[in-house]
Amino acid sequence: MGYARSRPSSEILSGATADVYFARASAILDREGLDPLVTMEVFCREEAVLCGIDEAKNLLGHVLASTDATETSLEALDDGDRIKPKEIVLRIRARYRCFALYETAFLGILAQSTGWATSARQVVDAAAPHPVISFGARHVHPDITDVLDYASIVGGCVGASTPAGARLAGLSPTGTMPHSLVLIFGDTVRAALAFDRDTPPDVPRIVLIDTFKDEAEEALRVAEALGERLYGIRLDTPSERGRVTADLVKEVRARLDQAGYSHVKIVVSGGMNPDRVRYFRDEEAPVDVYAVGSYISGATPIDFTGDIKEIDGKPIAKRGRIPGITESPRLRRVDLASWREEQAGRPIAD
């Protein structure tokens, strides 16, 4: 899996999303005739699953494509790397005014995506070896659902619900059916049969069974209607009815097995987080797949900092930091050649 590279948005490349003081600083340096060769290092202060670094490399690749190749270099870790507090994840060496306007963007990309990926990994670790699917798209602005789902997959989720997010990670989207479909058909089995008739054959038949009747009863009705074509059922009992419990999962599993439907998987959703997942595991509830939404989408961003550590080859740092390049053996050099080819003769923002 890798970040499906595309050209950064014109809003980002124009600097419209940057903190205004970067634009002002760049204008001041321009008027004063200053544009030193600097080395900037980027890090965070906690253990995390790094994500957004491939998107940040893509932004900087476009930005630095027209710079002097003998002066400019980019080193970075990769999406999915587990990082330690203050470990350098990105090092930029270039004329300051070439990239100053984009510090807000690449720090924000790293902060948000790393927060999502780290929360996803927490759930995935709690659920292991059972898979986790990201269902968090409804909790964030639609313009960033693809980045959320991509970060969830970087964090270890086996799939995500939106086509845009799954495509960014090189996968197909994963999903079952909404309650609205069942409500409109007026019966779970009728909705399941329509889903089976009208959905491409490569999509697993996973049916939601908590809409109208007892979950165990609905599971059997759906299994009898679809037979071997039924891949799984999803339990999403609302809090008003006590949520999904370990005992409910055990009953549904037992009734399916007794009726000869042991092949049917059980997917559990609704307020899933590491503690809820551990509850099901501690109770030995036979859950096959966990669908997790707001715990991942609501993750707190993880702050990243960009520090200038050299100016024109001379070590420097703000108070409290050690001047000069930090030893960072895991950093890998980023080849900027492909961006230079792409950017040949092309303006920064179009």
- Indicate which CATH number applies to the domain containing 230: 3.20.20.70
Same structural domain, 94 and 171: no
pLDDT at position 349, please? 46
pLDDT at position 219, please? 97
The owner of tokens 């587990």 is: 82
Please write the tens of the pLDDT for every residue from 100-117.
999 999 999 999 999 999
- Indicate which CATH number applies to the domain containing 47: 3.20.140.10
Q: How far apart are CA 161 and CA 145, in angstroms?
A: 10
Same structural domain, 14 and 105: yes
Same structural domain, 47 and 178: no
CA atoms within 13 A on the CB side of 215: 25
Backbone angles phi, psi at 265, to 5 degrees: -85, 155
| 162 within some domain | yes
pLDDT at position 170, please? 84
| 348 within some domain | no
- Say what percent of the chain tops pLDDT 90: 82
Same structural domain, 145 and 252: yes
Residue 172 one-letter amino acid: S
| 171 within some domain | yes
pLDDT at position 3, please? 63
Please write the tens of the pLDDT for every residue from 292-314.
999 999 999 999 999 999 999 99
Same structural domain, 174 and 202: yes
pLDDT at position 176, please? 83
Please write the tens of the pLDDT for every residue from 115-153.
999 999 999 999 999 999 999 999 999 989 999 999 999
Q: Is residue 217 a contact partner of residue 190, using CB atoms and an 8 Å limit?
A: no
Count structural domains, the chain.
2
Same structural domain, 184 and 79: no
Same structural domain, 41 and 173: no
| 202 within some domain | yes
Which residues in the chain belong to E strands, given as ranges?
A: 37-44, 48-49, 73-76, 82-83, 90-95, 132-134, 159-160, 205-208, 230-235, 265-268, 289-292, 304-311, 314-315, 332-333
Q: What is the mean pLDDT of residues 3-25?
A: 85
| 28 within some domain | yes
Please write the tens of the pLDDT for every residue from 180-233.
999 999 999 999 999 999 999 999 999 999 999 999 999 999 999 999 999 999
Domain that holds residue 190: 124-297
Categorize the per-residue pLDDT at 344 as very low, low, confident or very high, splitting at 50, 70 and 90: low
Categorize the per-residue pLDDT at 350 as very low, low, confident or very high, splitting at 50, 70 and 90: very low
Same structural domain, 76 and 219: no
Please write the tens of the pLDDT for every residue from 231-253.
999 999 988 988 999 999 999 99
Please write the tens of the pLDDT for every residue from 43-59.
999 999 999 999 999 99
| 21 within some domain | yes
Please write the tens of the pLDDT for every residue from 68-104.
889 999 999 999 999 999 999 999 999 999 999 999 9
Structure tokens at 257: 């097995």
Domain endpoint, select from 281, 297, 313: 297
Same structural domain, 140 and 277: yes
Categorize the per-residue pLDDT at 348 as very low, low, confident or very high, splitting at 50, 70 and 90: very low
pLDDT higher for 39 or 238?
39
Please write the tens of the pLDDT for every residue from 259-297.
999 999 999 999 999 999 999 999 999 999 999 999 999
| 278 within some domain | yes
Pick from 109-113, 171-175, 333-337: least confident: 171-175
**pLDDT above 90 (res 8):** no
**pLDDT above 70 (res 347):** no
- CA dihedral for 306, 312, 315, 316, sign (positive or negative): negative
Most confident of the ranges 106-115, 161-170, 175-184: 106-115
pLDDT at position 103, please? 96
| 4 within some domain | no
Same structural domain, 258 and 233: yes
Same structural domain, 128 and 260: yes
Find, among 188, 190, 246, the residue nearest to 213 by Cα: 188
Same structural domain, 287 and 309: no
